[in-house]
Amino acid sequence: MRLLDGKSLLVTGGTGSFGQRLVETVLGLARPERLVIYSRDELKQFEMAKRFPPDRFPSLRFFIGDVRDLSRLSRAMEGIDYVVHAAALKQVPTAEYNPFEAIKTNIIGAQNVIEAALDNRVRRVMALSTDKACNPINLYGATKLCSDKLFVAANSYAGRRDTRFGVVRYGNVLGSRGSILPLFLELRPTGRLPVTHPEMTRFWITLDQGVRFVMEALGRLDGGEILVPKIPSMRILDLARAIAPDCEIDYVGIRPGEKLHEKLISPDDARLTIEMPDFYVIRPQFAFWSGSNWTEGRGVDPDFEYASNTNTRWLGTVELRRLVERVMGVQLDPQEEAELAASGR
């Protein structure tokens, strides 16, 4: 976080779950000259400003704007050193029903971020991606794959500028707005929880882990890398049992555009992948890419893939339950946890 001392950071989608946690973390650990929240929802900005009042956080700025608007983005990036691009339309069913709206935000918006960053000579830009961008089968994943490709290729257009672009790709964020965890907590009193498929698995990461990984990546970026953290998997059914072990489970079927399991690295990317102690680096295919920041890494097996169902790290029901309590700030029945632990589930 110290690389932000005396510098300026802009966060697109800054009023979202990730953006708010990033801002909270940066303000607690660094002393930025300016921290700009760029988003299109004035109510969310108003509510966020109450959490971070100007008299206590004078570096904070709120900028109404949409990533679809290049001129507004360019104005917001004047004098900015670092950008974290978190703005996206990310609900899979919404993207399936409103495809071009997702394209305008997730693809055209990504290119606008790139253009504005180049024109304003921003030093580093880190874009947030998703496991759904790896071998995508839904429109959201396809738009994020396009976005990833744009940010990787943008390094070829920087010319003599010091601007560098990178991507961070990870799985589901525990407790983020619109995710399954708040839904399960909401439905718990009804005695019934909907689960798509008994074998469905997902990668899992907390907001704090995501924020710290993004900031580490921003500080180490060579330019053009896709960085993937080593994170645990969990079964959706285990999450339901962890939150509400006495609830009946309704199997509702996999929604349009959903996978049974997710991947963060496909076998096709294996030959470009470097393994670090806590994460992977997918190298860009640039002749000029030196990899000087990743010399301690080693290549992975040619047939390697990083998938949620074959992961070596798993979250069990008791560990999931404790994570839910910590992340969501709720207190679940201790007797239920004791029964889960005794059952070995």
Tokens representing residue 177 in the block? 């707005």
Query: Which pLDDT does position 158 carry in this prediction?
Result: 87
For residues 300 and 322, the answer to whether their CB atoms sit within 8 Å is no
> What digits encode the pLDDT tens for the residues 253-300?
998 888 999 999 999 999 999 999 999 999 999 888 888 889 999 999
Query: Which pLDDT does position 8 carry in this prediction?
Result: 98
Q: Which residues are catalytic?
A: 132
Question: Average pLDDT of the chain?
Answer: 93
- Pairing type for strands 248-251 and 192-195 reads parallel
Range 99-112 average pLDDT: 98
Query: Which pLDDT does position 344 carry in this prediction?
Result: 61
Query: Which pLDDT does position 61 carry in this prediction?
Result: 96
Query: Which pLDDT does position 340 carry in this prediction?
Result: 67
Query: Which pLDDT does position 345 carry in this prediction?
Result: 59
Identify the CA nearest to 46 among candidates 34, 56, 37: 37
- Pairing type for strands 172-173 and 60-64 reads unpaired
Name all domains of the chain by residue range, CATH numbers in brackets.
Answer: 2-175+205-232+267-314 (3.40.50.720)
pLDDT at 47 over 70: yes
Confidence band, pLDDT 50/70/90 cuts, at residue 143: very high
pTM for the full model?
0.94
Per-residue burial over 19-53, b if 16 or more Cβ lie within 10 Å, else e, is bbbbbbbbbeebebebbbbbbbeeebbeebeeebe
> What digits encode the pLDDT tens for the residues 75-96?
999 999 999 999 999 988 899 9
Helix (H) or strand (E) holding 240: helix 236-243
Strands in the chain per DSSP E: 8-12, 34-39, 60-64, 82-85, 124-128, 164-168, 172-173, 192-195, 201-205, 226-229, 233-235, 248-251, 263-265, 273-275, 279-282, 298-299, 306-307
> What digits encode the pLDDT tens for the residues 177-216?
778 888 999 999 999 999 999 999 999 999 999 999 999 9
